[in-house]
Amino acid sequence: MTTPRTPRPARAARPARLLAAALVTGALCATAACTGGDTGSPSASRGGVGPGRQAAAAPTTSPASPSASPGLTAAGARLALITEADIEDAWNQVSQRTARSWRDRLLVGKVDMAQFLTGRADAADCRRLADSLFDETLLGRPSGASALTGFQEGDSRLLYQVAAYDRAALDRSMRRLRSLPQTCDRFTLTGEDGAERTVEVVETSLPRVGDARQGLTVTVRGSADGDPVTLTLSVAVVRVGTDAITVTQGGLDGAGASTTEAAVRQGTQRLETVLAGRTPTPTPPVLD
């Protein structure tokens, strides 16, 4: 319903308009921070952009970021895989079938609860670490798209995975991995044949990439065919939004920290490029 206007004297109209204009100008200066200095915002360095235009053109949403991406697709996961060119030395890519078949029996065994101060909970975490290294499920089962590739150099292996996860479950997995150097510092695995293997878990540093990251070195000392052996694995996980990359690298000849770092740095960059809607180069070959 429109309220009837009451006629006003003509001489009052101009002062009213001047007062309204002054109030609007003051409001714009208050919201746009009208100062003579550098505000540090992109518009402050561009000539000809005034406070009024800045306020009118301000975006209502923040720019898209990898963590706000619509989701990792199966094709995107494959594109995010690293290539031979992304890692150092003479690593040769193997087929996915070969990579998925890699299992080390030294990681199979039972953990005695009596070894731990808090008993059952810590023993379960350490048993889960050994099991997840054996079947390559450090972050649990993916909830979305995933892809995997493997590389071999002599007796050393590198397994690389990209996958989408449930965010809450991924955060829990990251917290658990961070606790393992304290929880599972040193423990014993007893194999099916009764042979004991000593396992040591040490935290390692990673390049500051992604949204969160965790590095571990896992060393398993035991015997094979009556001879003493030592399995060394360099483990790294990096979270980018609700997606993550996992690197497991090493073998009976040891593990190279520089190789893991290269895989993490290049792999994170590839994943972020894919999530931004671009294609990383070089495109990895598909080996069945």
What pLDDT is recorded for position 10? 42
| Length reported for the chain | 288
What pLDDT is recorded for position 51? 31
- Helix, strand, coil percentages (3-state) for the chain, rounded to 5, are 40, 25, 35
Using CA atoms, how far residue 127 sits from 109, 121, 131, 183, 246, in Å, is 8, 10, 6, 11, 19
Is 117 a residue whose pLDDT tops 90? no
Cβ contact 112:190 at 8 Å: yes
Hey, what domains does the chain have and what are their CATH numbers? 12-57 (no CATH), 68-275 (3.40.1000)
The stretch 19-44 carries a mean pLDDT of 36
What pLDDT is recorded for position 4? 44
Q: Starting at the edge strand that comes first in sequence, how are the strands of the sheet with 196-204 ordered?
A: 92-94, 146-153, 156-164, 243-251, 227-240, 212-224, 196-204, 186-190, 110-111
DSSP E strands: which ranges in the chain? 92-94, 110-111, 146-153, 156-164, 186-190, 196-204, 212-224, 227-240, 243-251
What pLDDT is recorded for position 88? 77
pLDDT tens track for 144-158 = 999 999 999 998 999
pLDDT tens track for 152-186 = 999 899 999 999 999 999 999 999 999 999 999 99
Cβ contact 196:120 at 8 Å: no
Least confident of 42-46, 178-182, 199-203: 42-46
pLDDT tens track for 213-267 = 999 999 999 988 889 999 999 999 999 999 999 999 999 999 999 999 999 999 9
The stretch 4-16 carries a mean pLDDT of 41
Task: Determine whether 185 is exposed, middle or buried from the number of CB atoms within 10 Å of its CB (0-12, 13-18, 19+).
Answer: middle
Q: Which residue has the tokens 């606790």?
A: 179
Cβ contact 49:34 at 8 Å: no
Out of 101-105, 110-114, 123-127, 147-151, give the one with best mean pLDDT: 147-151
What pLDDT is recorded for position 70? 60
Strand-pairing partners, residue 102, are none
Q: How confident is the model at residue 43 (pLDDT cuts 50, 70, 90)?
A: very low
pLDDT tens track for 53-104 = 333 333 333 333 333 446 899 999 999 999 999 997 789 999 989 998 988 8
DSSP E strands: which ranges in 36-155? 92-94, 110-111, 146-153
Separation between Cα atoms, residue 158 and residue 247, nearest integer Å? 7
